[in-house]
Chain A
Amino acid sequence: DTGVSQDPRHKITKRGQNVTFRCDPISEHNRLYWYRQTLGQGPEFLTYFQNEAQLEKSRLLSDRFSAERPKGSFSTLEIQRTEQGDSAMYLCASSLVDSIYTDTQYFGPGTRLTVL
């Protein structure tokens, strides 16, 4: 089991550009979560998938943000027309929900986005 991986680890972009991040969850995990973490804060929930279905989105996820998990495996998070306020660490987590609806989330190393 190789754990959750994220790519790229760092991304520097100019304001107004589009960026896309990828997350590969632990194999066989059916849930995938995205969080955003700004400096000095704890992570904040953005969205989650159960298999390929996106079931919940935070109000933090503006219409410039879109996430997909096309085959229920890896996921992508795209930010269009980036703004300086989007600079943050984007964290992905995966979990395997059990029959009593508890899941333990395992996090990837994150993608640090810097918008100039």
Chain B
Amino acid sequence: AQSVTQPDIHITVSEGASLELRCNYSYGATPYLFWYVQSPGQGLQLLLKYFSGDTLVQGIKGFEAEFKRSQSSFNLRKPSVHWSDAAEYFCAVAKRRLTGGGNKLTFGTGTQLKVEL
């Protein structure tokens, strides 16, 4: 079964500092990869996704992520964090399908980001 590990439960950074959130997955083949953000009491907003092609993907709000096959990782980065980025971040994977079928997401346990002013 596929699994997702987000090793950092909490991260605190200063506003303006760079950010990297780690995500590792366990799966027999390269899955589809996603990062979502969740603000308190809210649903999930898609930040970015990787299906194929360029391993460095750009997302919304200035976020980017890099897929590294050799490390089974899909880390999220932002060069300069804003106070409004404080939220919980979830990495998710879905099975790569060659035929039709659902793409149910398997999520990590999340990383809570706190931004110090």
B28 within 8 A of A: no
Known: A91-B43, A107-B36, A110-B43. A45 touches B109 (CB 8 A): no
Task: Provide the bound-state CA to CA distance between A35 and B49, in Å.
Answer: 19
Contact A42 B102 (CB under 8 A): no
- Least Cβ distance of B42 to chain A in Å? 6
Q: Is the CB of A43 within 8 A of B107?
A: yes
Please tell me which one of the listed residues A4, A45, A112 contacts residue B105 in the complex, with CB atoms under 8 A apart: A45
Interface string of A24-56 (1 = CB under 8 A from B): 000000010101000011111100101000011
In the bound complex, residues from chain A placing their C-beta under 8 Å from that of B32 are: 102
Task: Tell me the complex Cα distance, A108–B45, Å.
Answer: 9
Enumerate chain A residues within 8 angstroms of B51, measured Cβ to Cβ. 102
Q: Is the CB–CB distance between A40 and B43 below 8 Å?
A: no
B contact residues around A31 at 8 Å (CB): 102
| CB–CB B103/A103 < 8 A | yes
- Please, how many angstroms separate the alpha-carbon atoms of A95 and B34 in the complex? 14
Task: Tell me, yes or no, whether B46 is within 8 Å of chain A by CB.
Answer: yes
Q: B24-76: which have CB < 8 Å to A?
A: 32, 34, 36, 41-46, 49, 51
A-B contacts, 25 listed (Cβ < 8 Å) = A4-B43, A33-B102, A40-B109, A41-B110, A42-B4, A42-B90, A42-B107, A42-B109, A42-B110, A43-B105, A45-B104, A45-B105, A48-B102, A48-B104, A56-B102, A58-B104, A95-B103, A101-B97, A101-B101, A102-B51, A102-B103, A104-B49, A106-B46, A108-B43, A110-B43
A-to-B contact residues, CB < 8 Å = 4, 6, 31, 33, 35, 40-45, 48, 50, 55-56, 58, 91, 93, 95, 97, 101-110, 112
> Interface of B with A (CB < 8 Å)?
4, 32, 34, 36, 41-46, 49, 51, 90, 92, 97-110
